[in-house]
Amino acid sequence: MKIAIIIGDKKRYNLKGDITTETLEKQFEIVRPEEAELIVILGGDGSILHVCSEYNSLGIPFYGINRGHIGFLLNEHPADEPNFENIFKQAKYFEFRLLKGVLEFENGSMKTIYAFNEISVEKMRGQAIKLEIQINGEPGLGYNDKNEQQLFCGNGMLVCTPQGSTAYNFNAGGVIMGPNDNLYQMTPIVPVFPLGTRTKVLDSGFKVEMTLVEPTKRKSIVVADNSEFDNVVKLTIEESPKSVKLGFDGLNSYYHKVAKKQNPWMK
């Protein structure tokens, strides 16, 4: 099997001096990502997000080995594991859909972005942001008592994928979904009004449009996983046709990781 190795966010072709990479070098032919059958990532969750974003167009699977802190999207293996080939072959590979975002900036320019976990718009300074939100062409928060579209005010709003539901979304009050659930979530970040604003579940094929109200006064930043963009006046988020295939070891499956996150006392 031909594999590519990426440590953190850096491609490694000279593997000397690292026990894990030297172990892999003895068991596989090490090639560039464009020539590989599998991309092996050594690092943390941030590394997974970066590498999947950069190389998802290659259409080959990824397998993460945790060398970071939490490592929710990675697997635990000793540096001198004697049979990585069997581990890679017996792993369960989940296909994760990405989010697509289209950003419109103050100067009129546009940019298309993709995210593995979530796309959020958040306040940049002390003042809360205001958003006009449309979901599938309809007012996302209904109407106020003046029969006007209800605006959102708060620290921000995020839209997440099923796999992203375990990250920022979960900590902001959203729920955890399975990797194969064909559903998405829109979750408020510290809502000011409407006071009862809670997570909304979005069907596949959704389209969320968020227009910044008073963007010059209420400065904001758009974050797609670990990439940031400012001076955005409108963003449109929808399900992307792009996907990423990520492997999990049988003893460290995605569902077991979710259970451990919900029940920290589990081993």
Range of the domain at 160: 98-241
In a domain, 107, yes or no: yes
In a domain, 266, yes or no: no
In a domain, 173, yes or no: yes
Same domain, 195 and 105: yes
Domain harbouring 103, CATH code: 2.60.200.30
Same domain, 83 and 148: no
Residue-level pLDDT at 265: 66
In a domain, 210, yes or no: yes
In a domain, 134, yes or no: yes
Same domain, 190 and 75: no
Residue-level pLDDT at 253: 67
Query: Which of 68, 90, 112 delimits the end of a domain?
Result: 90
Same domain, 116 and 222: yes
Domain harbouring 56, CATH code: 3.40.50.10330
Residue-wise pLDDT tens digits, 115-132: 999 999 999 988 999 999
Same domain, 16 and 82: yes
In a domain, 195, yes or no: yes
Same domain, 20 and 124: no
Same domain, 177 and 59: no
Q: Could you list the pLDDT tens digit for every one of the 267 residues in the chain? A: 999 999 875 544 444 446 788 888 889 999 999 999 999 999 888 888 888 888 988 999 999 998 877 778 889 888 788 889 999 999 999 889 999 999 999 999 999 999 999 999 999 988 999 999 999 999 888 888 788 889 999 999 999 999 999 889 999 999 988 877 889 999 999 999 898 899 999 999 999 999 999 999 999 999 999 899 999 999 999 999 999 999 998 766 667 777 776 676 666
Same domain, 157 and 49: no
In a domain, 75, yes or no: yes
Same domain, 77 and 112: no
In a domain, 246, yes or no: no
Active-site residue, selected from the candidate residues 45, 145, 203, 249? 45
Same domain, 125 and 231: yes
Same domain, 64 and 172: no
Mode of pairing for the β-strands spanning 62-66 and 232-248: parallel
In the annotation, is 9 catalytic?
A: no
- Indicate the pTM of the whole model: 0.86
Count of structural domains within the chain: 2
Same domain, 86 and 202: no
Site of tokens 């099997």: 1
